[in-house]
Amino acid sequence: MSKNAKGWMIVFSFLAADATAMYLIQLGEAARSGRASDVETAYVDPDPRPPAYLGRVKLGSWIFRRNCAVCHNLEGRGGIPNANYIKDTIPALNTMASRMMITDPEDAKTVVGLLEKGANLEQLSEPPIPRYEPFLAQFKAVRDVIGKGSTPGKKDPKGLDPSAMPSWKDSFSSSEIESVIAYLLTLQPWEEDEEAQDAPSPLDATLVNQDAREFKLSDLRGTPVVVSFIYTHCNVATMCPMAASRLAEVQRKLRDQGIAGVRFLLISFDPDRDRPERLREFAARYEVDLSSFWFATGLPDQVRPLAQALKNNYRQSAPGVFDHQIVVALLDPRGVLKDDFFGAEWSVEEFVEAVRRIVRE
């Protein structure tokens, strides 16, 4: 408490993260009730826009500090609670290099150097770093998300809306967005990531399909793959049954349009009950073509890291009952995550078009 001329006043002290979390809750609730304009934030940056000769990283840092740091913090560590978001907290952005398939700090410096020179990364005559193609696919995907914004998945479909990433395409040019990416690439804590780089990829998780065939998701590279996570005893119509039914329809639509070679994979996180024979029974309900639509399961230490890598979270809340959400991931033939669809808020037509885009690339 403190005292002023008018009497005593209670003074509350919050960590910055707590204050931001309260702001995000207020923003989400205001958006849900149509009063988003009632929530305002002011940020006064004492530094003017840096001149062009200082480079794109400096510009990206300035843009990020003014527009993104309130949620992601200055170092891009994220971790701010975001109420009702499926992943609980604002994601970290300081691992952008590894998310873009860069595993060597020298390669990151090479890419940042090219961006500093104003190079168009899509028109280089020679790949400047190893595995440049998957890097470029992720680079374009991140640039697209920053430009268009993104809607976060909700833990509770009936709950308040989590704070969403706004669209920046009307505020910043493509070049300025690339400057932000260049800055984020400089934040990677390479020393801390050495162990993570040596760890096996979640895509190498060992799974077993409905025919008791053992395989890895990485075995399916070379073709687009649609992946989601379910359990066959789910009795919520808008969850696992909906995902299986819609994806079965997607498979039929693609077949009718002459688009072949797309693989579908629904992975159960309930291996004790969802054995191969049970998976075959579940598949029969939806009349899918099992030559390209597999149902699978695996041990928890194999399934959970893969699920988390593809933005799916789940937990057992009671014997035989799981709290989870539906996120359908769309991987390109290289195994790069190109798109994802949350909950029931997508149509078969939207999904088919997303697949068609990947096939055309």
| H/E run at residue 243 | helix 240-256
Residue stretches of the chain with pLDDT short of 50: 1-17, 31, 35-44, 193-198
- Burial class from Cβ neighbours inside 10 Å (0-12, 13-18, 19+) for residue 82 reads buried
Beta bridge mates, 328: 341
Catalogue all structural domains in the chain, each as residue range(s) with its CATH number: 16-195 (no CATH), 200-360 (3.40.30.10)
Q: What angle, 0 to 180 degrees and rounded to 10, lies between the N-to-C axes of helices 56-67 and 174-185?
A: 90
What pLDDT score does 15 carry? 46
| H/E run at residue 119 | none
Between CA 6 and CA 111 the distance in angstroms is 59
What pLDDT score does 68 carry? 86
Q: What angle, 0 to 180 degrees and rounded to 10, lies between the N-to-C axes of helices 174-185 and 132-148?
A: 120
Q: What angle, 0 to 180 degrees and rounded to 10, lies between the N-to-C axes of helices 240-256 and 348-360?
A: 50
- How many beta carbons lie within 10 A of that of residue 22, not counting itself? 13
Q: What is the DSSP string of 14-68?
A: --HHHHHHHHHHHHHHHHHTT-GGG-------SSPPPPGGG-HHHHHHHHHHHHT
Rg over CA atoms, the chain: 23
